[in-house]
A and B are shown apart, each in its own frame.
Chain A
Amino acid sequence: MFKSLDNKLKKSLMALGLGAAIAASGLANAGQFNIGTTATPEEIAGWDIDIRPDGMGLPEGQGTVEAGEEQYEALCATCHGLFGEGEGRWPVLAGGQDTLTEERPTKTVGSYWPYASTLYDYIRRAMPFTAPRSLSDQQVYDITAYVLYLNEIVDEDFVLTKDNLATIEMPNQDNFFVDPRPDVKNTRCMKNCADPKKLQIAGTLRGITPVGHFVEGADAPAASHDAQMEQEHNKEKVRKASLKGEEVTSSNGGGASALSESATAGQSTYDGACKVCHGSGLTGSPKIGDIDAWAGRIKQGMPVLVEHAIKGFTGDTGVMPPKGGRVDLSDKQVEDAVAYMVESSR
């Protein structure tokens, strides 16, 4: 068994010292412990979501660029941008062709990804970010077709099917090769290993890493991602206010002890569904704890806010998708989460 390994890979695995294990493994003689239950085809089918470049795993169905555009704009554009250009630090999906040798390459589906199957697989397993495994196979076909279209890999009238996905040629597909390391060979020199006069010493770019914990003393609040963002946010607020000559109080609502029952219940929904946008103020969403950003909204009253959150809303600063894309949430859960954000932001 295991005789027909790809030669290149075999060579690299042998280099890792793994060759010996291949022989005499006796793997086919199953079940010496007889532990575990035989998995039924139905149990496997529900979890067997993976797609391979040869099309293995693709479900029945097809999708169009046109249908994909609508899905994409509702479910994906908040993070990835209307044209796949990426919002904030969220992944850029399109463009970047011929940049891989540049100083700052842009690695996108079109410029970098070797297989179209990866796109279907990834959308199906992990997207949209706030509601993974919520899309139908049909929606995944549609959105995959549209992202390929954004990358000019297919035309606008293209119909993506179970049968043609594996035949799509990606622009960068031939440019991956198996790891050749070790690729550099240093030697154990002990004396006169370099010319002291020729040493170039470059210092650290200052001020871009959080070092308060040892430079200024304890920085417990800055230990977390959120707290660091909060600090940055507050600094920015103070800076802006100082330009206007205003006095600033902490923007962190700090009303945690006074939360209503509904708000308390809404915290876990907030953490799992809303925080990804409202925790950072992504693409114009009101950031939790930002009193200024919420004041005008709170004035509209809870019924309006809850309705916008459930049905979706397009405002001056951004788009709120229905239930933030989490259509699995009940109206009550959304209402509680809104209460949590409102009470944390005044």
Chain B
Amino acid sequence: MSKIIKGPSTRELMAQMVQESEHLSINDRRDFLRKGVAAAAGMAATTIAGSSIASEVNKANLPPNEPAWGKQLGHGVVEHPYGSPSKFENHVVRRTVPWLTADSIASISMTPLQDLKGIITPNGLVFERYHGGVPQIPVEEHRLIIHGLVERPIIFTMEDLMRFPSVSEIKFIECPANGGMEWKGAQMEALQFTHGMLSCCEWTGVPLKVLLEEAGVKPEGKWILAEGADGSHMSRSIPIEKALEDTLVVYAQNGEMLRPEQGYPLRLLNPGWEGNTSIKWLRRLEVGDKPWYHREETSKYTDLMPDGRARKFTFVQETNSVITSPCPEKPMVKPGFVEIEGLAWSGRGKIKQVDISFDGGVTWVPAKLKGLVLDKALTRFSLVTKWDGQPWLLQSRSIDETGYVQPTLSQLRKVRGGNSIYHKNSIHTWKVAPTGEVTNVQIT
């Protein structure tokens, strides 16, 4: 079933455009408004932004001709023992924004959400976050030690760990800094950069609870220090309640052993919590009675408030959502029917509802959740509608099973100011121009 959404009236849109163009120089503004008027008058939607992407088409390969690949043989089996995507998909890659970090070794890259389907992120496209680069660890030389306030300190080989009964669960991982560059204003010109510190995989491993039971936690054990084997020896303190609830010690993702970038051969996974707590290249778990207050839970990953005080242990990734089609990378193709699609997720459980607005949050309509709707996993939403070249201010708003409604940017800023860096989960806006071009804007 499809819904036809009535757009705002031309007069309303013109008023918006005037308001929007106020920061432009006189000439730019005249241009801007002229284009807007042309669109409103129905002359638009023939020029489509992003059309330059399309490579040249060889008509000899189109009907009624028999295409070249139908007149010859292709390569045989095991030409590529481990297959790769089609060479025509080589634009689907992780990307970074170089100025975010001093160097690529302690840096972050983003998942191309604009090109992905469903809810699973392919292993080669899961966003990267390293604090000391990717170590190459021989699986037979990796060890996990559990010690501290336990009855029996244990050292596990990977072979040991893979003997435990395993579980497989689909969970998202998100960097708490996802979107964090935009607390003070829109500055990322693409979905990959506004929301790409986000991925979702099927993870296989052992519940941490099982390993803790194997070691026998002493009654005074309240916190667990997780530490990586890489050069940064990344460490975080995890409350034992989380460890007993749903933390996994993971060795596989999407059916194969972890990628080196994701912690091969072993990582922690704290579902729904900020990604850096899911320590990669996991080598040590120490049970203690208090948190450790290490660098990544004091200097970093604490949220500075306007009064100069800071929040600590801001673990959970609250409900968030974003429209992935259209987006700046995937502008409107042509007038007519269009499926608006996006992703919603919550660190507190399942997504209950997603609503979509075409007018910058004045009016909302329910979207449909499609495919799997899982606890702490990406959830895809969809709304089929029609676009006739009218400008849109597209937004999505998710609600999770706790009833928490994704907030507006103004609501977040009012409480947290502009310097808290992490956990910006506000409603996001794409401006759809009459040309079909989609740009990132902020509405307050």
Number of A-B contacts (CB under 8 A): 367
User: A residues within 8 A CB of B442?
Assistant: 201-202
Shortest B95–chain A CB gap in Å is 5
Q: Does B382 contact A (CB under 8 A)?
A: no
Q: In the bound complex, how far is the Cα of B311 from the Cα of A100, in angstroms?
A: 13
Q: In the bound complex, how far is the Cα of B132 from the Cα of A126, in angstroms?
A: 8
Residue pair A39, B155 in contact (C-beta under 8 Å): yes
In the complex, identify which listed stretch (B63-71, B73-81, B208-216, B252-260) lies at the interface while the others stay far away: B208-216
Q: In the bound complex, how far is the Cα of B393 from the Cα of A201, in angstroms?
A: 10
Shortest A280–chain B CB gap in Å is 6
Residue pair B362, A122 in contact (C-beta under 8 Å): no
Per a CB cutoff under 8 Å, which of B131, B153, B295 touches A118?
Answer: B295
Q: Does A18 contact B (CB under 8 A)?
A: yes
Interface set, chain A 190-222, CB cutoff 8 A to B: 190-197, 199-206, 208-211, 213-220, 222
Q: Does A9 contact B (CB under 8 A)?
A: yes
User: Contacts A2-B219, A36-B214, A132-B132 known; A21 to B241 CB distance under 8 Å?
Assistant: yes
Shortest A279–chain B CB gap in Å is 7
Q: Which of B155, B185, B442 gathers most chain A CB within 10 Å?
A: B155
Q: Does B338 contact A (CB under 8 A)?
A: no
Shortest A207–chain B CB gap in Å is 8
Residue pair A132, B293 in contact (C-beta under 8 Å): no
User: B residues within 8 A CB of A28?
Assistant: 151, 216-219
Residue pair A205, B185 in contact (C-beta under 8 Å): yes
Q: Does A44 contact B (CB under 8 A)?
A: yes
Q: Which of A79, A196, A282 gathers most chain B CB within 10 Å?
A: A196
Interface string of B410-435 (1 = CB under 8 A from A): 01101110110001000001010000
User: What residue of chain A has the Cβ atom nearest to residue B440's Cβ?
Assistant: A204
Shortest A53–chain B CB gap in Å is 5
Shortest A177–chain B CB gap in Å is 6
Per a CB cutoff under 8 Å, which of A50, A197, A232 touches B15?
Answer: A197
Interface string of A217-255 (1 = CB under 8 A from B): 111101111101100100000000000000000000000
Shortest B178–chain A CB gap in Å is 15
In the complex, identify which listed stretch (B33-41, B197-205, B226-234) lies at the interface while the others stay far away: B226-234
User: Contacts A16-B348, A186-B411 known; A225 to B104 CB distance under 8 Å?
Assistant: yes
Residue pair A126, B233 in contact (C-beta under 8 Å): yes
Residue pair A224, B364 in contact (C-beta under 8 Å): no
User: Contacts A179-B314, A183-B415, A191-B363 known; A214 to B328 CB distance under 8 Å?
Assistant: yes
User: B residues within 8 A CB of A327?
Assistant: none
User: B residues within 8 A CB of A205?
Assistant: 185-187
Residue pair A193, B364 in contact (C-beta under 8 Å): yes
Per a CB cutoff under 8 Å, which of A26, A79, A176, A222 touches B312?
Answer: A176
Q: In the bound complex, how far is the Cα of B217 from the Cα of A329, in angstroms?
A: 41
Residue pair B186, A203 in contact (C-beta under 8 Å): yes
Q: Does A54 contact B (CB under 8 A)?
A: yes
User: What residue of chain B has the Cβ atom nearest to residue A3's Cβ?
Assistant: B219
User: What residue of chain B has the Cβ atom nearest to residue A174's Cβ?
Assistant: B309
In the complex, identify which listed stretch (A109-117, A135-143, A312-320) lies at the interface while the others stay far away: A109-117
Q: In the bound complex, how far is the Cα of B88 from the Cα of A218, in angstroms?
A: 11
User: What residue of chain B has the Cβ atom nearest to residue A222's Cβ?
Assistant: B95
User: A residues within 8 A CB of B104?
Assistant: 224-226, 279
User: B residues within 8 A CB of A112?
Assistant: 298-299, 310
Interface string of B299-325 (1 = CB under 8 A from A): 100111011111111111010000000
19 examples of A-B residue contacts, CB within 8 angstroms: A9-B313, A12-B313, A18-B241, A22-B244, A26-B213, A28-B219, A35-B156, A51-B292, A101-B308, A132-B132, A132-B231, A177-B312, A181-B314, A183-B416, A184-B411, A196-B359, A206-B189, A214-B50, A282-B103
User: Which residues of A pack against B, CB within 8 Å?
Assistant: 1-2, 5, 9, 12-13, 16-19, 21-22, 25-39, 43-44, 47-54, 56, 79, 88-90, 100-101, 103, 105, 107, 109, 112-115, 117-118, 121-122, 125-126, 129, 132-133, 175-197, 199-206, 208-211, 213-220, 222-226, 228-229, 232, 272, 275-276, 279-280, 282
